[in-house]
Amino acid sequence: MRTPFILVNFKAYPEALGSKAIDLARSCAKVGEEAGRSLAVAPCALDLFMVAKSVRIPVFAQHLDPQETGKATGWIPPEAALAAGAVGTIVNHSERKVAWEEMRDLIGKCRELGLEVVTCADDVAEAETAAKLGPDFIAIEPPELIGGNVSVTTAKPEVITKAVERIHATNPEVQVLCGAGVKTGRDVAKALELGTVGVLLASGVVKAKDPQKALRDLAKGLAHGR
């Protein structure tokens, strides 16, 4: 994944399901191309295949299971995401927490398949623990700020700087993202200033009255990247 970047999580918002997922992904692709910036999307599992077929930007799964293929009704093994066109996955989002062992096994399987992993962490302690497992990225997201109107970069910048420090001390290969309340290009720029390589966000784009306008503003913040 080319950094710095913005990863837009579609969650299960009605504004980003089915054909609307394709429309939103195309908006992300258009803005990324126009701005010359790196954007990626994480659609609902049922939309992942058609979104990946519709755009040429990186597509992530929102969640995968460290499950073997075969007798796995209802589970989503990494191989399924790879076959659908995903380049990676989110894991341990605050809305879909997993056990440490599940996270460990999933990261291992994804590494074997060449899928990138964005592991979410609620706080610095969880981020440090996750770093030991060696995901590609750790997204630090205080859950009380997710979906709110105040960015973590404004409300709790010290959480980001401390997370970056502790993660890199534990595993210098892991890169850091931040999320929770990120809605503007200024928020993105601040995130980069605090030592991250981008942001993970959802409602700031998906619930925006004009998603393309919101995306253009956010993409401007990436200009401050290294």
- Measured at the alpha carbon of residue 178, what is the angle toward residues 200 and 40, in degrees to the nearest 5? 25
Tell me: the pLDDT tens digits for 10-26? 999 999 999 999 999 99
Question: Comparing C-alpha atoms, which of 20, 122, 151, 67 is closest to residue 11?
Answer: 20
Reported as type and span, the H/E element at residue 46 is: none
Catalytic residue among 63, 93, 126, 128: 93
Annotated active-site residue in 63, 126, 128, 141: 141
- The residue extents of the domains of the chain are 5-224
Give the pLDDT score at 151: 56
Least confident span in 53-67, 133-147, 196-210: 133-147
- Whole-model pTM over 0.75: yes
pLDDT at 37: 95
Taking only the tens place, the pLDDT of each residue in 93-108 is 999 999 999 999 999 9
How would residue 201 be classed by pLDDT, with cut points 50, 70 and 90?
Answer: very high
Indicate if the pLDDT at residue 146 is higher than 50.
Answer: yes
Structurally, what CATH architecture does the domain formed by 5-224 represent?
A: Alpha-Beta Barrel (3.20)
pLDDT for residue 206 is more than 90: yes
- What's residue 99's pLDDT? 95
Q: Are 9 and 90 within 8 A, CB to CB?
A: yes
Q: Is 63 designated active site?
A: no
Task: State which H helix or E strand residue 211 sits in.
Answer: helix 211-221
**Residue 185 and residue 72: Cα distance in Å, rounded?**
42
**Choice between 59 and 195, residue whose per-residue pLDDT is larger:** 59
Please check the confidence at residue 202 and state whether its pLDDT lies above 60: yes
Active site residue 224: no
